[in-house]
A and B are shown apart, each in its own frame.
Chain A
Amino acid sequence: GEDVEQSLFLSVREGDSSVINCTYTDSSSTYLYWYKQEPGAGLQLLTYIFSNMDMKQDQRLTVLLNKKDKHLSLRIADTQTGDSAIYFCAETPGTYKYIFGTGTRLKVLA
């Protein structure tokens, strides 16, 4: 099947690190993405990683890619209340073919 799996909920305290995990299915994806969805809004691209990379750092965000296990993770350092949102990973096994995960709802407690 083509299910991209994520855990549904994550709760962290403000200032802690958050780690959101994703298991994808298609090893032919050239890029893997993380999108953020705030309440009542559409998705916005947070970051992406090229499939030949193991890690990408972008300010407070660190993306780790384990191609052998088809595992993608997003780490948010120093998590703030403004980071509360739903986070989606996505793979792109072909042009025009975007497969989104189920989304992880991150709640940041003050």
Chain B
Amino acid sequence: NAGVTQTPKFQVLKTGQSMTLQCAQDMNHNSMYWYRQDPGMGLRLIYYSASEGTTDKGEVPNGYNVSRLNKREFSLRLESAAPSQTSVYFCASSDPGLAGGDEQFFGPGTRLTVL
């Protein structure tokens, strides 16, 4: 099992450009998440998808859109990138309700720089 995979690993954009970050999981999890990680701020939730066909805003959704393409895939789109979106982006998946709580499984991250 590959777990959670993300592409690309690195990306540099100019202000105003758009791009889509891809995420896929092979653990048959129902829920998927997008986080951003900034120094000294921990991880902040951008959007999540509780199950296939649903998406909801997290703590910092402005400037982003998401698509839950199917159970495996959850993409994050920046329509018009801004320097404030320079960050490391993590995708995660989980199956809430299983015994032991809600362990989140993380991808390796995408390091995005917006100039």
Interface of A with B (CB < 8 Å)? 4, 8, 30-31, 33, 35, 40-45, 48, 50, 88, 92, 95-98, 100-103
Contact = CB atoms under 8 A, between A and B. Distances in A.
Contact of B106 (A33, A43, A97): A43
Interface residues of B, number: 26
Interface of B: 4, 31, 33, 35, 40-45, 48, 50, 56, 90, 92, 96-97, 100-104, 106-109
Given A31-B101, A95-B96, A96-B31, A43 B43 contact: yes
A3 to B, nearest CB: 9
B5 to A, nearest CB: 11
Contacts of A4: 42
Contacts of B109: 40-42
Interface of A is mostly: strand
Contacts of A31: 100-102
A98 B42 CA distance: 12
B31 A88 contact: no
